[in-house]
Structure 1
């Protein structure tokens, strides 16, 4: 249940992999999802030669690229056509958990004309390189949120939070107490993320 202090929004939770995905990844049941004031989705772009963890190729890029086509080309237009949504970029965000968080990072960074709020639940971080290498990031992104369980890697979340603060980028980090890579972490993350959405 979303807290009463949250503004009304629609959560669209979808399967983050399609049957067209590459290799065995297409057959795995993902833990991805999306949400937005209109719709919440996930996406991100990395600088050439950089993966989401600071180096190397991003292993989630292939699956995210296929999902991005469905999300941007089919799902968002369907939601906007069939539900009473605010269809502009300031009123749409994307969040995902686990692999869905990485998909959110990849897709949102490539589509900042569509997403203004980004939530990564146990799915990596938006780092300082992402901010500096993504055109218009500071102007277009309203919320950057990253979380994990205390039994995952909270040091990375907290260090990244401090690094973003050091370059003047407002962001929120949340560590769920006494949880790991599990749904209790992600439920609590949503509870923290929801009140931040669509405030301006």
Structure 2
């Protein structure tokens, strides 16, 4: 229950943390966000991390941009002489990716200037604040793997379900080589597109493989929701239906259709936020299926929960420094004291947001399947 409470507390943290700054100190070096629709000038970001928005709504009475998980917080826009609405955040945003939406006269809309990403149980606009360490998830001139969509049969849900599968560079050219697999879960309100779109998991892996920092492995990303849970009602989520989909339907499908090493010793499960809660529960329920566990802003393990240490090759736990780092550190220390291979990672100056989880994947990948 401690890990569930931790995940619930983390899930309600705003993703975009804004510090108050004197407007006179804002640098006028704004440039279009890297996540804008083709040819769109707004939204823009500057070198300090401020964001500036421009919305065309000439007949509106009020326009506000809401940033963060669930759209909390906001920036009021002011109507300009040309009838457009413009405004700049009161302070710099955390580095990395943020969801946002536009409130026009109380209605919720997406920004026509920005690309959309599935989060908060809807397609939201996205903005990227360049990070000082963004090189590790940048698109580079290196060999690239493939992210392919698969539809796998799911008798338990009486349909076919979707997953995205990352295969590393060289997979198609090494017909006799089999690979370990990481099953990587998204957070609440997101879906199976999150880790490759918002998280850039494939680019992180491509770059690390090219630099020799990690072994190549397959990543499988699927939708983790099998029952209807509204925001604030996560305690009513039942793990059993998704556990059946994952362990009895998806894993056999992946092992039958991709060149995997179909052993628990070469199978990992990880997840962010609610995906961490799923990882925590399923790995404990199914100790013969996975040997590598990772929670990213998604709770903690206790030594008492690990019934057979010989089955666990690694427990990785992480969060942002603006979340609950002491809980992660203390849990990891307790696991180590109990003779379990455990590693913690704290992402500096980030909260419950994708830069935390991008960095977490960067730290986790080199540890897997060694």
Structure 1: 4+ residue segments shifted above 6 A? none
Residue 179 of structure 1: aligned partner: 350
Residue 271 of structure 2: aligned partner: 96
Normalized per residue, the structure richer in strand is 2
| 1:44-93 Cα distance to aligned partner (Å, 9 max, x none) | xxxxxxxxxxxxxx937x43211101001111111111111100110101
Residue 214 of structure 2: aligned partner: 6
Tell me if 1:63 matches 2:238. Answer: yes
Residue 120 of structure 1: aligned partner: 295
Q: Unpaired runs of 5+ in structure 1?
A: 29-57
TM-align CA RMSD: 1.6
TM-score by length of 1: 0.76
Equivalent residue pairs, number: 160
Give the Å deviation of 1:173.
Answer: 0.3
Secondary structure at the aligned position of 2:238 is classed as helix
CA distance in 2, matches of 1:145, 1:165: 11
Structure showing greater radius of gyration is: 2
Secondary structure at the aligned position of 1:16 is classed as coil
Residue 35 of structure 1: aligned partner: none
CA distance in 2, matches of 1:112, 1:162: 22
Give the Å deviation of 1:168.
Answer: 2.2
Structure of higher RCO (CA pairs closer than 8 Å, 6+ residues apart): 1
Residue 108 of structure 1: aligned partner: 283
Residue 87 of structure 1: aligned partner: 262
CA distance in 1, matches of 2:350, 2:357: 10
Give the Å deviation of 1:139.
Answer: 0.5
Q: For 1:121-140, what aligned pairs fall within 5 Å after superposition?
A: 121-131=296-306, 134=307, 136=308, 138-140=309-311
Residue 336 of structure 2: aligned partner: 165
TM-score by length of 2: 0.42
| 1:133-169 Cα distance to aligned partner (Å, 9 max, x none) | x2x2x11110100000000000101111121222222
Normalized per residue, the structure richer in helix is 1
Secondary structure at the aligned position of 2:300 is classed as coil
Tell me if 1:198 matches 2:198. Answer: no
Q: Is the 8 A contact 1:101 1:124 kept in 2?
A: yes
